[in-house]
Amino acid sequence: MTTSVRGGQLARLLGQWHSLPGRHRSPDYAALAGAVRGLLTDGRLPLGVRLPAERELAEALAVSRTTVTAAYRSLRETGHLTSRRGAGSWTTLPNGHRVASSGLWTPDDDLDMIDMGVAASAAPVELVPAARAAADELPRFLGTAGYHPTGLMELRDAVAAAYTARGVPTSAEQILITSGTQQALDLVLRLSVPAGASVLVESPTYPNALAALAARRARISTHGLDAATGWDGELLLAAMRQTRPRLAYVIPEFQNPTGHLMPAALRERLVAAAHATGTELVADESFVDLPLNGEAMPPPVAVFDRHSRVVTIGGMSKAYWGGLRIGWVRASAPLVQRLAALRVGVDMASPVLEQLVAVHLLQDAPSIVAVRRAQLAARRDTLIEALREHLPEWRFFVPSGGVTLWAELDGPISSALARAAEDVGVRLAPGPRFGLDGTLERFVRLPFSLPPDDLIEAIRRIASVRHDLDRAARPAWRTPAVIT
Ligand SMILES: Cc1ncc(COP(=O)(O)O)c(C=O)c1O
C-alpha cells in the first residue's frame, strides 16, 4: 500500500525548516532538502511515502516552485527520493542503507557508529550456558507440535512466582508469554482499543508504544511529565477524569525516557481513578528490575487493583537480553485466555527454545540482575560525568534507575543536533520522537547502556557538533517550552 503525505502535513512536519541552525550557510532549496532528509533520518517521515506535488508543497510552504523543484532534485541525487513521470515521488534510501525494524534507516557500512538510539544492553555472560541448558532440555518438547499460545507452563510459573514475591499474588493462569513487551502491549491494544477510542499516555513516552497506538488508530491525549519532577498527580488524575479514556498507558518504573519513578501514593490514586472512569490501566514494567541506588521499590501498580482494572506488561529485554524476545502480560485469567486467542491470529505462540532459555535465566535472576544493576549504575555515572564536562549547559534529572537520561538542551535544537551527530557517527533519539506533535525539541534521550568508553566518545562527538551548530541562527529559546 502506498501512503502519501499532503502539502500541509509535510509543511507541519518540516516546522521551522528555514530557520534551522546552520541554515544561513545554504540556499532555500538545500535547507528544504536537508530538512526532509532530517525527517527521514529520525523516522518522522516514513520510507515509501509519496511526497506532495511540487506545486502543492510550494503553496503549503509559501516558497517558489523552483525552490521545491531544486530540493526534490537534490533529494533524488542523494538517493532520498525516487520519481516516476506521471506517478509522483517517493521517499527512498540511499544505496548501501537498509531499513531497520524500527522504520529508521541505518547505515550498514559504518562500523564507527555509536548507537545512542537504543536503550538496551548486551547479553549477560549467563546467556550462552542458559541456551545450552535449554537445548539439552528441548527433547522433552519435541514429541509435541510445540505451539503454546499462552506460553510454556514452567516460564509462566516462574514469572508468576516473581510477581507473588513482589507482593502481587499471581497464578500461572494469569500470565501470557509474548514476543517481548512490545507484543504484550500490541495484543492488549488490539483487544481493548477499537479505532477512534480515546487513550491517555504520558508525554514524553516510549515511541514504539505510540506506534502501536497509531496502528490501532487510537485518539491519543497526553499527560505531560515534568523533566525535573515527573508526574503531576493532580493533573494526571484530572486528565483521567476529563478524557475518561478507554485505556491509559503508563511506565511507572524509571519511565522511558525521563527516568522517573512513580511514588506509591500516586499509584494508588491512579488505580482508583481508573476504576472511577472505567479505564483499563496498562502498567509497562519494562525497567522494574533496574533500581540503581539500592532503594526500596514502591509496590507494583497491580497491588492496588481490586477491580481487575490493571493490566501489567513486562519482559526480559532490559535486565537480561532484548534478543530473547520474551515478554508477558499479567492480567485476570479470563483476559489472558482472550489475549491468547487473539495472539493465535498474530504469531500463534512464542518459540519453545527461547522460553526455555528464559526459564534458565530466571533461575539465576538475583546474580544476573545484580551485575546488570552495578554495570548500569557505573555507566550512568560515566555519562553524567561526561555531560558535566563537555556539555555543562545541559540540564537533567539524575534517574535512580532504568537505562535512560532525558537531557534538556540549551535550545530547541534536538532534531538538528541528531542530524549533525549522525554525520560524526553518533545516532541519537531526538526529543520529538517521544511525543506526538513535533514538540520536545528542547530534549534528547541519552541511554547509558553502552560501554563507558563509547559513552564518553559519544558525548565528546555530540559536544563537538553542538558547538558547531550556528548559535546566531538559533531560535529564541528562552521562551518557556510547552511540554504537552
Ligand atoms: C517502555 C518500554 N516498553 C516496551 C519496550 C519493548 O521491549 P521488548 O524488547 O520487551 O519488546 C521497551 C524497549 O525499549 C520500552 O522501553
281-338 residue pLDDT tens? 999 999 999 999 998 999 999 999 999 999 999 999 999 999 999 999 999 999 999 9
- Predicted local distance difference test score (pLDDT) of residue 357: 98
Taking the CA of residue 183 as reference, the ligand 1 atom at the shortest distance is 11
Amino acid at 306: R
Q: Tell me if 117 CB under 6 Å of ligand 1.
A: no
Per-residue pLDDT, averaged over 105-114, amounts to 61
CA angle 321, 324, 330 (to 5 degrees): 95
Rounded-to-integer distance, Cα 313 and Cα 330, Å? 6
pLDDT digits (tens, 9 = 90+) for 448-472: 999 999 999 999 999 999 988 855 4
Q: Tell me if 254 CB under 6 Å of ligand 1.
A: no
- Predicted local distance difference test score (pLDDT) of residue 477: 47
Beta-carbon contacts of residue 151 (< 8 Å; ≥ 6 apart): 175, 176, 177, 178, 328, 349, 350, 355
Q: Tell me if 446 CB under 6 Å of ligand 1.
A: no
Residue 281 in contact with residue 310, Cβ under 8 Å?
yes
- Predicted local distance difference test score (pLDDT) of residue 484: 40
Pairwise pLDDT comparison (14 vs 240), residue with the higher score: 240
- Range name among 18-27, 96-105, 181-190, 465-474 with the lowest pLDDT average: 96-105
Per-residue pLDDT, averaged over 234-254, amounts to 97
- Predicted local distance difference test score (pLDDT) of residue 225: 95
Domain ranges of the chain: 3-91, 113-123+367-468, 127-360
Residue 416 in contact with residue 444, Cβ under 8 Å?
no
Pairwise pLDDT comparison (382 vs 14), residue with the higher score: 382
Taking the CA of residue 184 as reference, the ligand 1 atom at the shortest distance is 11
Cis peptide preceding 169, ω within 30 of 0: no
Per-residue pLDDT, averaged over 21-29, amounts to 70
- In this predicted structure, the answer to whether residue 154 has a pLDDT above a threshold of 80 is yes
- Give me the CATH topology for the region 113-123+367-468: Aspartate Aminotransferase, domain 1 (3.90.1150)
- Predicted local distance difference test score (pLDDT) of residue 255: 98
Q: Please state which CATH number belongs to domain 3-91.
A: 1.10.10.10
- In this predicted structure, the answer to whether residue 112 has a pLDDT above a threshold of 80 is no
CA of 390 from ligand 1 middle (Å) equals 30
Which of 186, 284, 286, 448 to mutate for ligand 1's pocket (most ligand atoms within 8 Å of CB)? 286
Q: In CATH, what class is 127-360?
A: alpha beta
Taking the CA of residue 403 as reference, the ligand 1 atom at the shortest distance is 16
Q: Tell me if 256 CB under 6 Å of ligand 1.
A: yes
- What residue's CA is closest to ligand 1, atom 12? 286
- Predicted local distance difference test score (pLDDT) of residue 99: 43
pLDDT digits (tens, 9 = 90+) for 260-297: 999 999 999 999 999 999 999 999 999 999 999 998 99
- In this predicted structure, the answer to whether residue 19 has a pLDDT above a threshold of 80 is no
Rounded-to-integer distance, Cα 418 and Cα 114, Å? 12
Q: How far is CA 368 from CA 69, 124, 125, 313, 352, in A?
A: 57, 7, 9, 21, 22
Residue 120 in contact with residue 317, Cβ under 8 Å?
yes
Beta-carbon contacts of residue 132 (< 8 Å; ≥ 6 apart): none
Taking the CA of residue 205 as reference, the ligand 1 atom at the shortest distance is 1
Closest residue by Cα to residue 290 from 157, 382, 380, 225: 380
Rounded-to-integer distance, Cα 334 and Cα 336, Å? 5
CA of 286 from ligand 1 middle (Å) equals 6
Per-residue pLDDT, averaged over 57-66, amounts to 94
Pairwise pLDDT comparison (92 vs 223), residue with the higher score: 223
Per-residue pLDDT, averaged over 429-447, amounts to 92
- In this predicted structure, the answer to whether residue 249 has a pLDDT above a threshold of 80 is yes
Parallel, antiparallel, or unpaired for β 105-107 and 88-91? unpaired
- Predicted local distance difference test score (pLDDT) of residue 24: 58
Q: Tell me if 249 CB under 6 Å of ligand 1.
A: no
Can you read off the three cell numbers belonging to residue 136? Answer: 539439552
Which of 159, 182, 288 to mutate for ligand 1's pocket (most ligand atoms within 8 Å of CB)? 182
Per-residue pLDDT, averaged over 66-76, amounts to 94
Q: Tell me if 356 CB under 6 Å of ligand 1.
A: no
Which of 115, 183, 188, 256 to mutate for ligand 1's pocket (most ligand atoms within 8 Å of CB)? 256
- Predicted local distance difference test score (pLDDT) of residue 350: 97
- Predicted local distance difference test score (pLDDT) of residue 110: 55
**Length of the chain, in residues:** 484
pLDDT digits (tens, 9 = 90+) for 338-379: 999 999 999 999 999 999 999 999 999 999 999 999 999 999
Q: Tell me if 119 CB under 6 Å of ligand 1.
A: yes
Residue 86 pLDDT level (bands cut at 50, 70, 90)? confident
Q: Tell me if 7 CB under 6 Å of ligand 1.
A: no
- Predicted local distance difference test score (pLDDT) of residue 20: 62
CA of 210 from ligand 1 middle (Å) equals 12
- In this predicted structure, the answer to whether residue 438 has a pLDDT above a threshold of 80 is no
- In this predicted structure, the answer to whether residue 3 has a pLDDT above a threshold of 90 is no
Can you read off the three cell numbers belonging to residue 340? Answer: 491468547
Cis peptide preceding 94, ω within 30 of 0: no
Residue 91 pLDDT level (bands cut at 50, 70, 90)? confident
CA of 365 from ligand 1 middle (Å) equals 19
- Range name among 20-29, 168-177, 294-303, 430-439 with the lowest pLDDT average: 20-29
Which of 181, 361, 404 to mutate for ligand 1's pocket (most ligand atoms within 8 Å of CB)? 181
Residue 223 pLDDT level (bands cut at 50, 70, 90)? very high
Taking the CA of residue 251 as reference, the ligand 1 atom at the shortest distance is 1
CA of 382 from ligand 1 middle (Å) equals 24
Beta-carbon contacts of residue 342 (< 8 Å; ≥ 6 apart): 187, 190, 191
